Structure formats: structure tokens, C-alpha cells
Amino acid sequence: MLAVMLANRIIIGKLEYKAVPESLKPQVKEQLEEAGVGFFAEK
């Protein structure tokens, strides 16, 4: 659930992927890829 929220914040520009805690990065990256914007996880 938290990964979804963080991914949404990245998509709308309120958060950068590098600011996501290391423990949540895999789940957030997965959510971004499912949304078709996996490139946000490469910044």
C-alpha cells in the first residue's frame, strides 16, 4: 500500500525515486513499471 502511494507521488512529481527508502525501492519500481512509467525508477 505504501509503495502505491509513493509511486503515485513520483508520477505527479512530488517525490523523486532516489528519496524512496531502500527497503521500498523494489516494490515502488514494480508499481511504476505496472503503471507504464518505469523510467521514473531509473532517475
Is the Cβ–Cβ distance between 31 and 3 less than 8 Å? yes
Q: Give pTM, 2 decimals.
A: 0.92
Q: Is 17 exposed, middle or buried (0-12, 13-18, 19+ CB in 10 A)?
A: middle
Q: What does the pLDDT read at residue 41?
A: 96
pLDDT at 31: 98
30 close to 4: Cβ distance less than 8 angstroms: no
Write the pLDDT tens digit of every residue in 3-43: 999 999 999 999 999 999 999 999 999 999 999 999 999 96
Cell matching residue 21: 527508502
* pLDDT (0 to 100) of residue 43: 65
